[in-house]
Amino acid sequence: MNEIYEAQTTTIVTPQILLGNHLKALKLPTFAREYDKVAMEAAQDRADYPRYLLRLCELERIDRERRNIERRIRLARFPQTKSLDTFEFTAQPSLNKSLVLELARCEWIETRQNCIALGPSGTGKTHMALALGLAACQKNYSVAFTTAAALVHELMEARDERRLRALQKHLNAVRLLIVDELGYVPFTAVGAELFFEVLSQRYERGATLITSNLPFDEWTSVFGSERLTGALLDRLTHHVHILEMNGESFRLATSKKAQRRSTQAPNAITRASTEEGKDSKI
Ligand code: ADP
Ligand code: MG
């Protein structure tokens, strides 16, 4: 910066260049990009200086909010983008829609509660977790999305590399931790302990969303220990919202519909029956 001030006094530097430098140093990129255009508009509207500055401030704040949300979404590491707008509630009658809409307002994250989505494969649990995660990012909460298997793998790796503390600290700090697909892969004893530790440390400190294809009474098969499962469920379900998603697989229902259509339109039979075959394995 000193060089700039020296340059200002010793040589002729255009105010635009200096202004550009100052705005960059002050981290006001929208000011820098828009001040000229807004100045012309202000002149046309005969707006006074405070109004001119106000317009620039508003633009900067709007843009900053957008950049923050984009950053939250990037850091959350969602595998895909899904939102509630594309979720068909009619396809999942067991799901409490008003509860979902309430959860999308994110008060449960503010009050550090938990949410568990339960149901068989294909019922939209991951879609729901992604949509609620996105809603949280849009409200400027920090979010981390992972699967149970990936989380345990990462914890074990961190432990072997003596950076478990740092990872635990990161997982503790995030406002919403989403753990997808608990139940598909059973944990080793060490894996189960490490998973338990994360959730135990987050108890009443941060919100956690878990999705599982297993009802609670089968969670012991994942953790391998009744004692640990009991202690985990005790903490997890103290302040919890349960999303029951026990309907039919959306993929299966969609391909069944496609097959019904193909019976009416013989040309489409081959493609639809291939899809049915693929989805029925889920
Ligand atoms: P799960 O995680 O329960 O196995 P997914 O969320 O992966 O199920 O859903 C499978 C596919 O079906 C995804 O592409 C998802 O977007 C879609 N899907 C599931 N349920 C619905 C629904 N009710 N409305 C719209 N799309 C849905
Ligand atoms: Mg899933």
* DSSP element (H, E) containing 118: strand 114-118
Return the higher-pLDDT residue of 276 and 141: 141
Q: Is the C-beta atom of 252 inside 6 A of ligand 1?
A: no
Nearest to 209 by CA among 154, 150, 129: 129
- Residue type at 80 in one-letter notation: Q
Atom of ligand 1 nearest to the CA of 86: 25
> Which has the closest alpha carbon to 174: 154, 145, 139?
145
Q: Closest Cα partner for 215 from 119, 125, 121, 127? A: 119
Q: How far is CA 248 from CA 2, 121, 132, 213, 239, in A?
A: 67, 9, 21, 13, 28
Identify the pLDDT of residue 251.
Answer: 73
Distance CA 212, CA 189 (A): 19
Least confident range from 59-63, 82-86, 211-215, 268-272: namely 268-272
Q: What confidence category does residue 270 fall into, taking pLDDT thresholds of 50, 70 and 90?
A: very low
Indicate yes or no: pTM above 0.85. no
Q: Per-residue confidence at 256, pLDDT binned at 50, 70, 90? A: confident
For helices 148-160 and 164-173, give the axis angle rounded to 10 degrees.
140
- What mean pLDDT do residues 186-199 have? 96
* pLDDT for 30 beyond 90: yes
> pLDDT tens-digit profile of 202-244?
999 999 999 999 999 999 999 999 999 999 999 999 999 999 9
Which of 80, 127, 128, 281 has the most ligand 1 atoms within 8 A of CB, as the residue to mutate?
Answer: 127
122 Cα: distance to centroid of ligand 1 (angstroms) = 5
Q: Decide: 161 in ligand 1 pocket, CB within 6 A.
A: no
> What tokens were used for 156?
């074990």
| Cross-strand pairs, 212 | 118, 182
pLDDT at 192 over 60: yes
- CB proximity list for 229: less than 8 A, separation 6 or greater: 219, 220, 222, 223
Residue in the block written with tokens 């339109």: 265
Give 4's pLDDT tier (boundaries 50, 70, 90). Answer: low
